[in-house]
Amino acid sequence: MTITPRAGAVALALGATLGAGVFTGFAPAAAVAGPWFLPGLVLAAVAALCCAFSTADQHRAYPDAPGGYAYIRNQLGPWPARIGAGAHLVGRAGMAAALAGMFGAYVVPEHRLTAAVGLIAVTAGLGAAGVRWSTRLSVAAVAVVLGVLTLVVLVCFSVAPPENPVTPPVGVEGAVGAGGAPGFDGVMGAALLLFAVFVGFERVTAPRRGDQEFSARVLHVAVPVAIGVALLVAGAVGAAVLRQLGPARLALSPAPLRDALIVADGRWLLPVLSVGAAVAALSSLFFVLASARRTLVGMTETGDLPAIRAAWPLDVVSAAPAIGAVVALPPATALAVGACGTAFYYGFTNASARVLLQEDRTWPMRTACLGLGLSVLLAMSAPADALVITGVALALGTGLLALGRARQAVVVKAGRR
């Protein structure tokens, strides 16, 4: 079977996208916005579309640069790039932890932590061994995941929901679900959490060295289609689980799709759901860890990190924070930290895209301006604990880089004497 470039680009993007956001993101989103998380999903899609346009244009301007860190450095300078790289690595660690936690919750619920840590270790090992997620493999993975999600939606809409949905006690997280509209802050918080649904687009807009490249003409079709498909799929799944569980019970669910199937008398589909969740977790995690490794490669090439000849230490460095996040953070918090760090990173990426020369653009500059504003707004709408964790991790990472640069300057100065 021949795969056209546009179809291949869409499959690669969806293979890196349909993961933790779709399988677990609706629960924390319902906890902050009740049933109003669905408008937040649309806002997250608009932000992702602007960010995708920015990364596509920057990759076209700097095709040999190792990712967003290098784009920011070329356009804004070293220190914005270091802060952006720190935000990216924090975001990747959180997203990897959320994906691994999703795998544990759906595939091995009796041993969630062990399964989550094992998945990260195995995926990092495959990456270190040079294994790549090909286009054909992405097509197969996307077909499996979309097929499973379609079954979930059909079952949830074919069976009437329970007449008396569960309502949590006053003060329990998720109680907003029974109380009407949560206001602007709640919708924005849900949009930040559901931003995780869309953040795999860099797999095609800014591919790694050696990966398949796509022309601007292909991306002008493939990027909107990929994000549009992700929006439709996520919207259908979100509406389906909301229908069966109600906003309050959804907010308390560690595995919303599984619980929705149980309520809808779809237990027979749980093994199939486990397969879909496993495929989605592995497909997305491959991209997340490879993306973190790419940023580390860029930092070694510019001297922000020590040069490393072997490849495997970077895979270890990419996986270690993710394993730490799995052990230390609940899955919902890990997802929020991942989305918050990623949104901050795209704030810097959009800021650097704004100053690209006109001849380097294939999208209007207004999309970068809108992406910048939405990225910052989404990041600042994160739950308080996730915002604090992201800020502390970003400050520590930037501080360590500053100390490393200062020490390197002292060594160079002493050598000249």
Query: Tens of pLDDT along 298-312?
Result: 888 888 888 776 667
Task: Give me the long-range contacts of 269-277 (CB less than 8 A, separation at least 24).
Answer: 269/151, 269/152, 269/155, 272/148, 272/151, 273/106, 273/148, 273/152, 274/106, 274/107, 275/144, 275/148, 276/144, 276/145, 276/147, 276/148, 276/149, 277/23, 277/102, 277/103, 277/106, 277/107, 277/148
Please report the pLDDT score of residue 413 as a whole number: 60
Q: What is the pLDDT of residue 216?
A: 87
Task: Indicate if the pLDDT at residue 167 is higher than 90.
Answer: no
CA distance 318 to 220: 31
pTM of the model as a whole: 0.92
Alpha helices in 252-383 (DSSP H): 256-263, 270-302, 312-328, 331-354, 365-380
Q: How many CB atoms lie within 10 A of CB 114?
A: 11
In the block, tokens 């959490």 appear at 193
State yes or no: pLDDT of 316 exceeds 90.
Answer: no
Q: Is the pLDDT of residue 403 over 70?
A: yes
Given pLDDT bands bounded at 50, 70 and 90, which one contains residue 171? very low
Instruction: State the DSSP code for 179.
Output: S
Helices 270-302 and 78-107: crossing angle, nearest 10°? 160
Q: In the prediction, which pLDDT does 104 show? A: 94
Q: Which two three-digit tokens encode residue 68?
A: 């967003």
Cβ atoms of residues 59 and 201 within 8 Å: no
**Band of pLDDT at residue 178, cut at 50, 70 and 90:** very low
Q: Which residues, at least 6 apart from 25, have a Cβ–Cβ distance to it below 8 Å?
A: 193, 194, 196, 197, 335
**Per-residue pLDDT tens over the stretch 183-199:** 788 899 999 999 999 98
Report the amino acid identity of residue 236: A
More confident residue, 249 or 363: 249
Give the pair of three-digit tokens for residue 314: 């970077």
User: Residues 333-346: what's their mean pLDDT?
Assistant: 96
Least confident of 138-147, 172-181, 248-257, 262-271: 172-181
Q: Mean pLDDT, the chain, as a whole number? A: 88
pLDDT over 90 for what percent of the chain?
Answer: 63
Q: Are 48 and 199 in contact (CB under 8 A)?
A: yes
Its sign, for the CA torsion 105, 114, 19, 42, is: positive
CB atoms within 10 A of CB 188: 22
Q: What share of the chain is helix, strand, coil (3-state, %, to 5)?
A: 80, 0, 20
Residue 397 has pLDDT above 70, yes or no: yes
Q: How many CA atoms lie within 13 A of 258 on its CB side?
A: 22
**Cβ-Cβ contacts under 8 Å for 91 (sequence gap 6 or more):** 337, 338, 339, 340, 341, 342, 343, 344, 345
pLDDT score of 169 more than 50: no
403 exposure class (CB count in 10 Å sphere: 0-12, 13-18, 19+): exposed
Buried b (16+ CB within 10 A) or exposed e, 146-181: bebbebbbebbeebeeeeebbbbeeeebbbbbbeee
Residue 270 CB burial class (10 angstroms; 0-12, 13-18, ≥19): middle
Check residue 315 and give its pLDDT.
Answer: 84
Residue-level pLDDT at 414: 57
CB distance 301 to 66 below 8 Å: yes
Confidence of residue 367 (pLDDT cuts 50, 70, 90): very high
- DSSP 8-state assignment for residue 303: T
Q: What is the pLDDT of residues 206-232, one digit of tens each?
A: 888 778 888 889 999 999 999 999 999
Structure-block tokens of residue 118: 């094992």
Mean pLDDT within 9-36 = 92
Mean pLDDT of 116-140: 88
Cβ atoms of residues 292 and 92 within 8 Å: yes
Percent of the chain with pLDDT over 70: 91
**pLDDT band for position 404 (cuts 50, 70, 90):** low
pLDDT, residue 136, reads 86
